[in-house]
Structure 1
Amino acid sequence: MSHKHSMIVLYLIVVGMVAGLGAGWFFGEDVLVIKWMGTLFLNALKMTIVPLILAAVISGVASLGDIRKLGRPGGLTMLYYLSTTVIAIIIGLVLVNLIQPGVGVEMSAEALQAGQAKAESNSGMTFSDILLSLISPNLVKSAVDLQLLPLVFFAVIFGAAVTTVGTAGGKVIDFFEGLNDAMMKIVGWIMYFAPIGVFALVATSLGEAGGGEAFLATIYGIGKYVATVLIALAVHSVVLFLIMMTMSGRGVGFVKDMARALLTAFGTASSSATLPLTMECAHEHGLSERSVRFVLPLGSTVNMNGTALYEAIAAMFIAQMYGIDLGIGAQILIVVTATLAAIGAAGIPQAGTVTMLIVLGAVGLPAEGIGILLSVDWFLDRFRTTVNVWGDSVGAAVMNKYMVSKEEVALEEALEPHEATASE
């Protein structure tokens, strides 16, 4: 989908959201006659999950090259990205448990009963259950049941293994890269119908709640949800990333030099589309060629701090909305699932909506809860994409210390007196 088409779809989604709010308010339960439209849109997204996640994760891991040759810089880069992703999720979980934005959102009796049934099925989860959920004895059955966590885990292992088998592995990688491109095209086609799907999902969600008071409670709940996400993103980006930036020895000038990339990320809601500009800004700031060409492309594939944080908060919001009490075991599972799902999230607008289904499925939450979130997803998507790009940029700055060769350091030191003289 071109940038022009993406913006058109974005504007239409806004129109669909507003129209859905109006329809839910004025027609109440009568609007449920169009519920099938929202269900059809959700089913279309679900249809792409298994092939999309397998292709995206395998091709993303394989893009690292032979994992045996990554060495210390590669290992440190992966450790940085995984650590910051986990920290982002934990920040999100802490804030969503403190603010509890989903508590008080009105739901229909039928929906609440379904939520309680989910709660019973999730009770008693232990750490061993979490580990066992990573590996399935039957991947086909897991795919049929949409138990996607073991599929994501397998895809990571498979992607790493295929990089070590030479020429034959290259053919496999080419296949999954082609499959990933094809699935991205299909997702783009589905997004053309997003305005209609959002209209139906928003309208029926409000119609099921029924009544003006319930409507206002829903809007209040969404407002608290938006505030929770934005606060968590701010905490993660300002506090954590400024600490990381300090460790890299770079100051406010780095923020200024990366501003164009960050504004572009906000405008396009696509970290992939922003990558060329991100690399250009990093070059202009003075980061080494090796850190820019390795760390930033890798980050745009596997480092989705903002997306992972958002998915964790959204899952807990849906649980609170349906009255499902997720214990520490289920929340640890959210950390694991959101981390793996973030690795497989494509750097395109609304990609988090697809991977969100993985997180919800892992802890047994109803996928229908996504409907109410879609009304504000277009707005939050821009902020979390900006945080994703900011995380990639800071990662490149931090890892620059470990990836610059001694020869490059000596050359830079030799040039400093000459540059100082020239500036005088």
Structure 2
Amino acid sequence: MEAAAAGEGKAGHGRNGHAEGPAAEQRRGGGARLRGCRAFLRRNALVLLTVSGVVAGVALGAAVRGAALGPAQVSYLAFPGELLLRMLRMVILPLVVCSLVSGAASLDTRSLGRLGGIAVAYFLGTTLLASGLAVALGFIIRPGAGASALNTQLGLPGALPKSKETVDSFLDLIRNLFPANLVAAAFETYATDYQMLLRNTTLGNITLEKVPIGTEIRGMNILGLVMFALVLGVALKKLGPEGEDLIRFFNSFNEATMVLVTWIMWYVPIGIMFLVGSKIVEMEDIVLLVTSLGKYIFASILGHVIHGGIILPLIYFAATRQNPYRFLLGLITPLATAFATCSSSATLPSMIKCIEENNGVDKRISRFILPIGATVNMDGAAIFQCMAAVFIAQLNNVDLNPGQIFTILVTATASSVGAAGVPAGGVLTIAIILEAIGLPTNDLSLILAVDWIVDRTTTVVNVEGDALGAGILNYLNEKDKKEREQELKEVTVEAVANSKSEAETSPLVTHKNPVSNTSSTADPESKESVL
């Protein structure tokens, strides 16, 4: 009874002997909730700041838009955003090369071939699905029907990319895979140009002949750098102990680059705010553009929403049986960066950091597959390009036949591999598709007019496809690793000691004779073999 009373006294009184009522318990509960809220804010501070930067950028652009700023003032407004792009592009070269070398060297040859095959199948399959979806939506929505007077209505400039033969485009893609100068590949890429030469025929008639000539244009040849880094990583793996020092160098370089990325990430919200704000200020007549090209913009963005919000998550769920939206929730920061910068290459540093820290993807997988995906996996670009081709065909009252539709699908899938991961990088690819199906490239000015709108959702879908592909490969790799471990556990050999024929058993096996009084008295020389 006394013990019970003492227990009740302790439960009913505080440290000073005062009674603790419901108010004290409520205070304790409130403190726990406050600590939990602080922990949540601390964990998701960068995500919240990034989303706030996008919202603040829209508000800033809307507020400054009425001030009628000149081009110089707009460039000053965009300066903090320009700094963000420059910092992100600064780390692309070391990040791509070092991550791919260390990633290819850390995976054994069997895993490298298996994961590489799955990655190629995933990239090609999703890009083909994206192209087919865009063509189907183009025929359903018909964005180009009744829009033939748009060029004169909008008064668009005629600055168009030079058209290129389809064969030369694919040859350039192969040439860029094998750069002649590795240093020059860091800032130049190969592109075919044309020169008109005079030819005299036997009858004295003068004809002009278009002759392809090789040129170098400004822009990083990421495709060639990716190929070189992969091959170098495999070669270092083959060297064995002699290549370990160089592998450690690339690993250290890669980790140091990721530290730089961590620092840059905290500047992302500020840069995004000014990037979005300056882009809104630059818009001349958004109402006219949206009303004139609204069906095209709607069809393109709808294709991105369906592919990025339904098809890609379904593929991830079918492969892993895990919630894809929970996976994407940890990637809000790189997705917001993709929306603001319109560059999948510039988004690569933050994507690698977030997918490893928030989603637990193995570094060997993420740093191997994400740089490749940022170069060759362009689902959003395939949707954008196919929709533009169907739009221009409808604009010119051309009914596409099955052969032309097949050409659009194959050309968009193949040419998206070589599309530059920079803003407006896919416009030249549209010119290739139009040349392949025999349509004029004059109407590309309409695509350029709204490219800055559609390019944002295009980039988001591009980087989302890379991330989900890395998640699928990580799941399959972990599953394969567990299966191999299970096989090793099942393959066990139990050696049973045979005291009567001890010479036939392994000397590494411990033998103990059964202890019995009979054997000890009957055979005094029987012994125990113990290592």
Greater C-alpha radius of gyration: 2
* Contact 1:152/1:340 (8 A) holds in 2: no
Give the match for residue 152 of structure 1.
169
**C-alpha distance in 1 between matches for 2:405 and 2:306:** 20
Give the match for residue 332 of structure 1.
406
After TM superposition, give the deviation of residue 262 of structure 1 in Å. Answer: 0.6
**C-alpha distance in 2 between matches for 1:319 and 1:386:** 26
- 1:263-310 residue CA offsets vs partner (Å, 9 max, x unmatched): 111011111111011011110110111210111111000011001110
For residue 390 of structure 2, give the secondary structure of its aligned residue in structure 1.
helix
**C-alpha distance in 2 between matches for 1:262 and 1:385:** 9
Query: Which gives a bigger RCO, structure 1 or 2 (Cα 8 Å, sep 6+)?
Result: 1
Written as runs of structure 1 = structure 2, the 5 A alignment for 1:257-406 is 257-284=330-357, 285-404=359-478
**C-alpha distance in 2 between matches for 1:271 and 1:400:** 21
* Aligned-residue identity in percent: 32
Amino acid of the structure 2 residue aligned with 1:242: P
After TM superposition, give the deviation of residue 226 of structure 1 in Å. Answer: 0.7
After TM superposition, give the deviation of residue 404 of structure 1 in Å. Answer: 4.1
Aligned length: 294
Give the match for residue 508 of structure 2.
none
Amino acid of the structure 2 residue aligned with 1:306: G
For residue 387 of structure 2, give the secondary structure of its aligned residue in structure 1.
helix
Aligned alpha-carbon RMSD (Å): 4.0
After TM superposition, give the deviation of residue 173 of structure 1 in Å. Answer: 5.0
Q: Which has the higher strand share?
A: 2
Change (3 A) 1:180 1:408: farther
For residue 180 of structure 1, give the secondary structure of its aligned residue in structure 2.
strand
**C-alpha distance in 2 between matches for 1:154 and 1:405:** 39
Give the match for residue 217 of structure 2.
183
**C-alpha distance in 2 between matches for 1:221 and 1:342:** 27
2:110 is the counterpart of 1:101: no
| Structure 2 unpaired stretches of 5+ | 1-56, 69-95, 153-161, 191-215, 222-278, 486-531
| Structure 1 unpaired stretches of 5+ | 1-6, 19-58, 111-143, 163-169, 188-194, 204-214, 412-424
For residue 104 of structure 1, give the secondary structure of its aligned residue in structure 2.
coil
Q: Which has the higher helix share?
A: 1
Give the match for residue 526 of structure 2.
none
For residue 167 of structure 2, give the secondary structure of its aligned residue in structure 1.
helix
Written as runs of structure 1 = structure 2, the 5 A alignment for 1:47-62 is none
For residue 234 of structure 1, give the secondary structure of its aligned residue in structure 2.
helix
For residue 398 of structure 2, give the secondary structure of its aligned residue in structure 1.
coil
Amino acid of the structure 2 residue aligned with 1:330: Q
Change (3 A) 1:355 1:184: farther
**C-alpha distance in 2 between matches for 1:93 and 1:248:** 29
2:88 is the counterpart of 1:88: no
**C-alpha distance in 2 between matches for 1:77 and 1:305:** 14
Give the match for residue 329 of structure 2.
256
Give the match for residue 81 of structure 2.
none
For residue 188 of structure 2, give the secondary structure of its aligned residue in structure 1.
helix
For residue 365 of structure 1, give the secondary structure of its aligned residue in structure 2.
coil
For residue 189 of structure 2, give the secondary structure of its aligned residue in structure 1.
helix
Change (3 A) 1:402 1:172: farther
Give the match for residue 242 of structure 1.
313
